[in-house]
Amino acid sequence: MVRAEERAHVDVERARARITSGRHGFDVAPVLRAAGDLRTAFERTVTAFESTGIVSTAHAPALRRQSVDATTLVLAWANSESTPRDPALRVARTVAGIVGNAVLARASDDVAESFSFAGWTRAHCPCCGASPDLAMSTAAKRTLVCWRCDTQWRTTHRGCLGCGANGPPDVARVPSPYLGYELAICNACGRYLKERRGSPAHALLVERALTAGLDEAAEQRGLRA
């Protein structure tokens, strides 16, 4: 909904040249700032949350007041600043994440169009430099997904993306059959990744929401994404 209407402001040729030379394509703050006033997108997302019951009607007016600082909220999400404790601010962070992800995914789509990431062998995102939060694996390939801009790229690494540990006892896999995911945990360096067989069953936004419990479980163990 947000994605279709936001225009990306990214220098596509410069981003591709950087990726080809082994650096990630763009820095997210200028792209988010160049997206202009994010208030409308923020308010629309609040309305969508309200209509689906994710946000109670009682909280919606307070959230709309937050929209004045939509760009600041989106930058806080993009920089992974610590999650606010206040319940309304927590929801505002979630809304900001949806808006920011839409803007950045659009920028990354523009970079990726008719361009291959095949030469990119690193464990961080070729477009924005963030870590993957999801992996989609088959016997033949493992595809990583950027938590921030949804870019997907292939990797030859099968083990931990943090330290390269490959297999037990360093890497443990905790299956979650109902979700179709495994939590891949590295006991050597403390990283985790949510991994599934094959393609995602839903939009990435939904996949992330459905597997949020795996993140909580990992964080309770003191692991980091």
**Contact stretch for Zn ion (CB under 5 A) within 59-67, 110-118, 152-160, 201-209:** 152-160
CB of 100 to Zn ion, least distance (A): 11
Q: Is 225 in the site for Zn ion (CB under 5 A)?
A: no
Interaction residues for Zn ion, span 81-120 (CB under 5 A): none
**Contact stretch for Zn ion (CB under 5 A) within 78-86, 111-119, 121-129, 194-202:** 121-129
Candidates 146, 184, 193, 214: give the one binding Zn ion (CB under 5 A): 146
Closer to Zn ion at the Cβ: 26 or 42? 26
Q: Is 184 in the site for Zn ion (CB under 5 A)?
A: no
Rg (CA), the chain: 18
Give the total of residues touching Zn ion (CB under 5 A).
Answer: 16
Residues 204, 150 contacting (CB under 8 angstroms): yes
The count of other CB atoms within 10 Å of the CB of residue 58 is 7
Residue 105 phi/psi, 5-degree rounding, is -65, -35
Residues in the chain: 225
- Pairwise CA distance, residues 14 & 26, whole Å: 8
Candidates 144, 149, 184, 193: give the one binding Zn ion (CB under 5 A): 149
Q: Is 125 in the site for Zn ion (CB under 5 A)?
A: yes
Q: Is 130 in the site for Zn ion (CB under 5 A)?
A: yes
CB of 149 to Zn ion, least distance (A): 3
Q: Which of 90, 62, 59, 55 has its CA nearest to residue 76?
A: 90
Closer to Zn ion at the Cβ: 129 or 180? 129
Q: Is 160 in the site for Zn ion (CB under 5 A)?
A: yes
Residues 104, 148 contacting (CB under 8 angstroms): yes
Closer to Zn ion at the Cβ: 73 or 127? 127
Residues with Cβ within 8 Å of 221's Cβ and at least 6 positions away in sequence, in order, are 185
Candidates 62, 89, 163, 179: give the one binding Zn ion (CB under 5 A): 163
Q: Is 162 in the site for Zn ion (CB under 5 A)?
A: yes
Closer to Zn ion at the Cβ: 10 or 127? 127
Residues forming the site for Zn ion (CB under 5 A):
125, 127-128, 130, 146, 148-149, 151, 160, 162-163, 165, 186, 188-189, 191
